[in-house]
Amino acid sequence: MTERRRRGGTRSPWTLQRRLVLTVVGLLALVSITIGVVSVVILRASLLDRLDVQLASAADRSGSVLGSSGDNDGDRLGDKPGSPSFGTPTANRILSGPAQPPGLLALVYDGSSITTGYTDDQSGAIEELSEQQVRQLADHVNQSAAVTVNLGGELGEYRVQAETAQTGTLYLVGLPLSGVASTAAQLALIITFVSLAGLIVVAIIAAWVVRLALRPLQRVTATATRVAQLPLDRGEVSLDDRVPAGDTDPRTEVGRVGAALNRMLDHVDRALEARQASERKVRQFVADASHELRTPLASIRGYSELTRRSGQQLPPDTIHALSRIESESVRMTGLVEDLLLLARLDEGRELEMEPVDLTMLLVDAVSDAHAAGRDHVWNLELPREPLEAIGDEPRLRQVITNLLANARVHTPAGTTVVVALVEDDECAVISVTDDGPGIPDELTATLFERFARGDSSRFRAANASGTASTGSTGLGLAIVDAVVTAHRGTVKVNSRPGRTEFRVALPRAEAVSRGY
């Protein structure tokens, strides 16, 4: 049962067009079946009534042949004691009588003997009935109304009627039902073939009509699909796509859907414009503030260095304070430079695109990381042949430096970091893998957002004095994502306890030259 449900659950759902067509065809099939059954039943009843009239006429003629028409007051077979015997075939007088229909069956009981016979439809010869068939007919001699008797064999069903001649002779005549059955079956066959042909024609026409009727809905769906493919979560988006005016008629169901979608798109467009305006103001503020902060930060750093190196004897706490001012100004200068870089990338400023040897870039970056983090194990895996990408070398160097710094700062001492460069189709893939504690799932989704921090899951570094360092600014991975995106590449992270991998895919120089 479970397997059946599972297989049934994977079955694709029916489209609205298919459901409508099958509903129309199903209803038509039901109507056709009903009409066919009713028509066959009515025709059979009509033919049976006509056969009963013919049977009554044949009974009247048979009574005249035997002496006079029956009055239904003579003795019946069941009123005589003993079993009847087979005597002279007086039934032949009925079968040979004038104007008798073909296939007529006759049974005559004169009080002492029974004679029977029927006329063969093909040859016209008079044939005898079997004893079993005679006994079946003898059971209905006492019934004056027409009844149906199945004689079996080649005779099949007969419509029989018993009468009593004026002389007191009991007789029974019958006509075959084969003609009625054949006509009813022929009508049923005709209705079946006509209905099947009609269903096929109706299915084709219904599919065309439904497809034509659903075109406005398809246009509405196409509009919604195009809007859904827009990157509404970032950047400036021009939401100009709307459902055509012809598909927004409120008098129709599809028109109401189209009008509702247009109203929703209007609301979304206004919300996006408000968001974009707010983002532009924030970015402009950040860019202006960062630009304005560069000069005072440089002054603070310069004055602190000048005072510390003036050669005058200063108290130790003053020297420590000046060194802290100098280090914090350096850190703030780096933060300002990162904010300026992100602001330029947000504005879509073009990067200096030129061939960059990723192999040498990784060699230099890993060497610098080894010098900065000697308590980590650094491994470098490079291909046999150098790989080149088209990009801005300083920015790509910053991407590698930020990834290595992230692995160094957020993993404990003794962690092994593997930097690898491989070729994958049209891309050069740089991977930075460490065996640190990993990143929680709830942080992975926001890892590349600005000012996102992973300090709750990965170990913080410690400074020489043993106190915790201030950690990262939360812009390193955001810069990685922005720079890689500007190079038409992708960056992904896959993390679990004991293994964290960052993968950067950049278009190779050969692929860019071929129009990748």
What is the tens place of the pLDDT at every residue in 355-408? 888 889 999 999 999 988 899 999 999 888 888 888 888 889 988 998 999 889
CA–CA dist 493, 476 (Å, integer):
14
Q: Are 382 and 418 in contact (CB under 8 A)?
A: no
Instruction: Provide the pLDDT for residue 236.
Output: 67
- 328-335: long-range contacts, CB 8 A cutoff, minimum separation 24: 329/297, 329/300, 329/301, 329/304, 330/301, 331/470, 332/293, 332/297, 333/294, 333/297, 333/298, 333/301, 334/473, 335/473, 335/475
Which CATH number among 3.30.230.80, 3.30.565.10, 3.10.180.10, 3.40.980.10 corresponds to the domain 354-513?
A: 3.30.565.10
User: So where are the chain's domains?
Assistant: 39-182, 227-349, 354-513
pLDDT beneath 50: ranges in the chain: 1-6, 8, 68-89, 456-471
Q: Which residues contact 475 (CB under 8 A, 6 or more apart)?
A: 335, 338, 339, 342, 450, 451
Instruction: Provide the pLDDT for residue 77.
Output: 39
Per CATH, is 39-182 categorized as 3.30.450?
yes
Instruction: Provide the pLDDT for residue 419.
Output: 92
To the nearest 10°, report the CA torsion of 194, 195, 200, 201.
Answer: 70
Q: What are phi and psi of 430, to 5 degrees?
A: -105, 125
Instruction: Provide the pLDDT for residue 234.
Output: 66
Instruction: Provide the pLDDT for residue 215.
Output: 83
Domains 227-349 and 354-513 share a fold: no
Fold of 227-349: Helix Hairpins (1.10.287)
